[in-house]
């Protein structure tokens, strides 16, 4: 299934995308998509519903983050061999873990806002893992059953804040709008081989990133098992699993986002995002 949350910010409703690509309303069946709605039992119940019995949603509503009330937004750094090479850094012996503030979460096509004083805002297309069942000290062999599904993430990063402001990655990772997720959550049963997914990102129509999850250093089961040793993973938690080569910081010359830029990115089978880059706005 492809599960979505659609509508205005803060007013999203649950829905699904049928086999013809039509948006169907799920609000008569479940109140939202998150927490207990992400368990295997809940997913099996949803899978029994005939999509054609659900109301079609007309128009082109905004897609929000496909998971409600995300508790943790976890990032993994330098998790692609070719990205580590372009950065001139050694392959990590253990996953590099950082946190993205949940206040940075935004819908797949919501604009990216450059933070005040930004000089080096960068892009990173990534595979996102959505946890479906509480995971604590799980094994790699069992890790998959704790996953509800997968999604596209743009791990937007301000490099000066990340690397030149005291060594705390979180400062460059959690700015408002720096976490576009979606457009939908694809349940794990529809992803045949998560280790063979193509990723891409374009800036103003020019290809910047091309990669495959087969080049991930630490694979999906490894990451879930590893993280579950250090923190309890709760239903709805999102893990961004690292990015392939082609980020702006590594280009020659370096290229960072500026007002008026347009990003298009996606992962095979998981959908596509599109974002306009806008200047800082005081809410």
Q: Are strands 179-181 and 105-107 parallel, antiparallel or unpaired?
A: parallel
Classified by CATH at the fold level, domain 68-278 comes out as Fumarylacetoacetate hydrolase; domain 2 (3.90.850)
Q: For residue range 18-31, what is the model confidence (pLDDT) as tens digits?
A: 999 999 999 999 99
- For the segment 75-92, the average pLDDT, to the nearest whole number, is 88
- Residues 6 or more apart whose Cβ sits within 8 Å of residue 98: 74, 75, 77, 169, 170, 173
DSSP code string of 178-193: -EEE-S-EEEGGG-S-
Q: For residue range 110-140, what is the model confidence (pLDDT) as tens digits?
A: 999 999 999 999 999 999 999 999 999 999 9
Distance CA 111, CA 60 (A): 16
* Token pair recorded at residue 60: 């082109």
- For the segment 67-91, the average pLDDT, to the nearest whole number, is 91
Is the pLDDT at 283 greater than 70, yes or no?
no
Is the pLDDT at 267 greater than 70, yes or no?
yes
Q: For residue range 148-198, what is the model confidence (pLDDT) as tens digits?
A: 999 999 999 999 999 888 877 889 999 999 999 999 999 999 999 999 999
Q: What are phi and psi of 84, to 5 degrees?
A: -60, -40
204 confidence band (pLDDT: 50, 70, 90) = very high
Distance CA 10, CA 91 (A): 40
> Vertex 150, ends 111 and 239: CA angle to 5°?
75
Q: For the beta carbon of residue 185, count every other beta carbon within 10 angstroms.
A: 29
User: Where along the chain do its domains lie?
Assistant: 68-278
Q: What is the pLDDT of residue 258?
A: 97
Q: Over the chain, what is the mean pLDDT? A: 96
Return the CA Rg of the chain: 18
- Residues 6 or more apart whose Cβ sits within 8 Å of residue 119: 160, 256
Distance CA 22, CA 74 (A): 31
- For the segment 20-48, the average pLDDT, to the nearest whole number, is 96
Q: Are strands 73-77 and 185-187 parallel, antiparallel or unpaired?
A: unpaired
Is the pLDDT at 200 greater than 70, yes or no?
yes
Q: For the beta carbon of residue 21, count every other beta carbon within 10 angstroms.
A: 7
Q: Name the pTM for this structure.
A: 0.96
88 confidence band (pLDDT: 50, 70, 90) = confident
Q: What is the pLDDT of residue 282?
A: 72
Residue length, the chain? Answer: 283
């Amino acid at each position: 299934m492809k599960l979505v949350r659609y509508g205005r910010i803060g007013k999203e409703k649950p829905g699904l995308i049928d086999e013809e690509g039509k948006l169907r309303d799920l609000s008569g069946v479940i109140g939202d998509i998150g927490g207990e709605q992400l368990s295997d039992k809940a997913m099996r119940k949803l899978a029994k519903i005939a999509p054609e019995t659900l109301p079609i949603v007309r128009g082109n509503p905004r897609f929000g983050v496909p998971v409600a009330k995300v508790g943790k937004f976890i990032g993994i750094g330098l998790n692609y061999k070719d990205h580590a090479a372009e950065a001139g850094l050694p392959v990590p012996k253990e996953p590099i873990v950082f946190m993205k503030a949940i206040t940075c979460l935004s819908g797949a096509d919501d604009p990216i806002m450059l933070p005040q004083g930004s000089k080096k805002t960068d892009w990173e297309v990534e595979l996102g893992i959505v946890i479906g069942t509480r995971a604590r000290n799980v094994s790699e062999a069992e890790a998959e059953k704790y996953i509800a599904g997968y999604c596209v993430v743009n791990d937007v990063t301000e490099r000066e804040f990340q690397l030149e402001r005291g060594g705390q990655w979180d400062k460059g990772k959690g700015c408002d709008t720096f976490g576009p997720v979606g457009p939908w959550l694809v349940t794990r049963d529809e992803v045949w081989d998560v280790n063979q997914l193509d990723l891409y990102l374009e800036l103003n129509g020019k290809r910047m990133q091309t990669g495959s999850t087969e080049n991930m250093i630490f694979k999906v089961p490894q990451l879930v098992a590893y993280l579950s040793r250090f923190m309890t993973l709760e239903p709805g938690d999102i893990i961004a699993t690292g990015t392939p080569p082609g980020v702006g910081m590594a280009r020659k010359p370096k290229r960072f986002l500026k007002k008026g830029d347009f990003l298009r990115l996606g992962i095979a089978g998981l959908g596509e995002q599109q974002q306009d880059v806008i200047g800082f706005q005081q809410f």
